[in-house]
């Protein structure tokens, strides 16, 4: 049989809330980055088989500065669009400052560009009424903003409803007052991710319901009037993974994970938050969020990922080509396409280029030369120690997504530690409060430099003093971690010598949404990378000569 099979998820590892756009240059998909900068990952493909992480759009301080943001905050649910009337591409996004206790302090912004690959403008402020903004550009040239309007008062229908308001396509200023257009069904939980598309005279409202856990779904409603009223699709969700696609009212609860909806018959769980496009061949595609829990722990160690499904329009409604409402592991296209690109960026990076690759991110603090430099010592990545990993402001963390269940990561580091407040090393983390840290530091009990493991569980640090191992301060250390889900094991080499294990086999599933249970860091994704602290004068630099990430899938 001719054609090509595409394996889901297409973007493995932390890639939530996809927004897709078909252009003359192929398909672009933007995903959330939460507390990682640069913000908004932009993927591109001309054939749906070979994808490239082209850029991270929010790449300067004037566009994004997440210092001071709370955990699980940052850049949520970006939406990309094109307005033929202005000839501009638009990105709208939410910068969530705090989720606590229930007020959702946030700002929504829009930026524009003459091309999807930039250059992108500085942001224009839109509103702060709720998250997940999206733009729709109608045939008459007018532009409209939708977003969830968050309700925080007990006496109202928490957690909110969808609003619509007009935006000037040139100035990007909002006009008039917001209008409530859809409230959904409260028993399913939060109604979010609203996006409008138009087809054959109908306005279709694509939205997510049920939280981003096991009760997640994409629902579709339509109206001949953009402001409603909207009628719901007769067959229920367009896509969901929950075992019962139509839960009863008494199944409702506020827990965003909703583990009671886990479907043992599916590989892809948590299907929801979708975006629909039509390609140049007239085919329609749904890009959606999903996750792959590790069983029996029921923990999604790769967090929320992006998958795609083909859809058809039947009796004026979108339905999955595969039938029903469950996500498929594989999607076929008619074309025969050779897969030549690896979206997971495996291999060794030796830091010999002028800039870090697009797969590298910093935690909250924007990347700047004064603390993260490829120029200070050519051929290495120099990182200046600043605050602790827990800091909401200036933590020196450079990391990349974890994208495989089983992998080996290692880095070669040179760091002078003559003060117990100096440390640096290899880090695996989800957010800034749950992590494993193999660090070099000065041990006052030993009176010399040592290696040891620091574990943090939901903000509770645990210095594993039994792992303390003396090392030569002048040695170049190769720090290694092998993850064989559900476990991980650290080891090291000193000056390229024999590899030695350090510490016991530990639980790798801590790096998951489920472990944090919607607590600090639940949405921040699982990453691995390099970190340095100087808790004395913020002046001590470490040199990382290389970093390697390699899949070891069984």
- What is the band of 208 on the pLDDT scale with cuts at 50, 70, 90? very high
Active site residue 200: no
pTM above 0.85, yes or no: yes
CATH architecture of 4-333: 5 Propeller (2.115)
pLDDT tens sequence across 356-391 = 999 999 999 889 999 999 999 999 999 999 999 999
Q: What is the predicted pLDDT for the residue at 1?
A: 63
**What CA–CA distance (Å, rounded) separates 541 from 265?**
50
**Which residue in 59, 71, 95, 192 is the catalytic one?**
192
Q: Given the DSSP bridges, would you call strands 202-209 and 217-223 parallel, antiparallel or unpaired? A: antiparallel
pLDDT of 238 higher than 90: yes
Percent of the chain with pLDDT over 90: 86
Active site residue 17: yes
Query: CATH 2.60.120.200: which residues of the chain?
Result: 347-551
What residues contact 133, with CB distance under 8 A and at least 6 apart?
A: 77, 79, 92, 93, 94, 108, 110, 126, 127, 145, 146, 147
Query: CATH 2.115.10.20: which residues of the chain?
Result: 4-333
Stretch 283-305: mean pLDDT, rounded? 96
**Which residue in 17, 59, 410, 414 is the catalytic one?**
17
Query: Which CATH number is 347-551's, of 3.40.50.1000, 3.30.70.360, 3.20.20.70, 2.60.120.200?
Result: 2.60.120.200
* 286 touches 276 (CB < 8 A): yes
pLDDT tens sequence across 410-428 = 999 999 999 999 999 999 9
Nearest C-alpha neighbor of 193 from the set 38, 79, 271, 348: 79
Q: What is the predicted pLDDT for the residue at 158?
A: 62
Give backbone dihedrals phi and psi of 160, rounded to 5 degrees, phi first. 125, -170
Alpha helices in 362-476 (DSSP H): none
């Amino acid at each position: 049989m001719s054609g090509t099979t595409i394996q889901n998820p297409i973007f493995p590892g932390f890639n939530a809330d996809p927004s897709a756009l078909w252009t003359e240059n192929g398909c672009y998909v933007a995903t959330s980055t939460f507390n990682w900068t640069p913000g908004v990952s932009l993927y591109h493909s001309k054939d749906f088989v070979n994808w490239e992480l082209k850029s991270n759009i929010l790449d300067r301080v004037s566009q994004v500065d997440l210092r001071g943001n709370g955990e699980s905050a940052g850049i949520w649910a970006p939406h990309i669009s094109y307005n033929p009337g202005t000839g501009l591409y638009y990105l709208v996004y939410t910068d969530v400052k705090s989720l606590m206790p229930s007020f959702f302090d946030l700002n929504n912004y829009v930026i524009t560009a003459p091309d999807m690959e930039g250059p992108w403008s500085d942001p224009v402020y839109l509103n702060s009424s709720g998250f997940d903004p999206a733009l729709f550009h109608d045939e008459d040239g007018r532009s409209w903003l939708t977003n969830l309007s968050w309700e925080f008062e007990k006496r109202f229908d928490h957690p909110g409803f969808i609003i619509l308001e007009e935006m000037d396509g040139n100035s990007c200023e909002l006009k008039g007052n917001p209008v409530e257009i859809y409230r959904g069904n409260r028993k399913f939980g939060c109604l979010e991710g609203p996006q409008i598309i138009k087809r054959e005279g109908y306005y279709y409202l694509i939205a997510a319901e049920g939280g981003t856990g096991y009760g997640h779904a994409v629902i579709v409603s339509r109206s001949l009037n953009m402001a409603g009223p909207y009628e719901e699709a007769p067959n229920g969700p367009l896509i969901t993974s929950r075992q019962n696609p139509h839960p009863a009212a008494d199944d409702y609860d506020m827990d965003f994970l909703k583990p009671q909806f886990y479907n043992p018959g599916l590989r892809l769980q948590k299907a929801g938050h979708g975006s629909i496009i039509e390609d140049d061949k007239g085919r329609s595609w749904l890009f959606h969020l999903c996750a792959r829990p590790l069983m029996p722990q029921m923990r999604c160690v790769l967090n929320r990922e992006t998958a795609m499904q083909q859809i058809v329009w039947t009796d004026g409604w979108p339905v999955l080509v595969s039938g029903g409402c469950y996500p498929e592991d594989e999607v076929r296209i008619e074309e025969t396409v050779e897969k030549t690109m690896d979206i997971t960026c495996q291999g060794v990076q030796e830091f010999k280029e002028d800039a870090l690759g697009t797969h590298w991110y910093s935690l909250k603090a924007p990347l700047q030369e004064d603390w993260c430099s490829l120029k200070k010592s050519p051929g290495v990545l120099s990182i200046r120690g600043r605050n602790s990993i827990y800091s909401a402001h200036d933590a020196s963390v450079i990391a990349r997504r974890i994208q495989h269940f089983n992998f080996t990561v290692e880095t070669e580091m040179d760091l002078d530690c003559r003060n117990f407040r100096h440390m640096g090393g290899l880090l695996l983390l989800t957010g800034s409060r749950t992590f494993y840290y193999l660090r070099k530091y000065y041990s006052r009990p030993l009176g010399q430099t040592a290696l040891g493991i620091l574990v943090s569980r939901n903000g509770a640090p645990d210095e594993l003093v039994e792992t303390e191992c003396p090392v030569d301060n002048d040695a170049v250390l190769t720090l290694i971690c092998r993850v064989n889900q559900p476990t991980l094991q650290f080891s090291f080499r000193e000056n390229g010598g024999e590899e030695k294990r350090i510490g016991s086999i530990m639980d790798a599933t801590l790096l998951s949404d489920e472990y944090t249970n919607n607590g600090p860091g639940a949405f921040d994704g699982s990453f691995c990378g390099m970190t340095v602290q100087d808790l004395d004068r913020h002046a001590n630099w470490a040199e990382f000569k290389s970093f390697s990430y390699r899949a070891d899938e069984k």
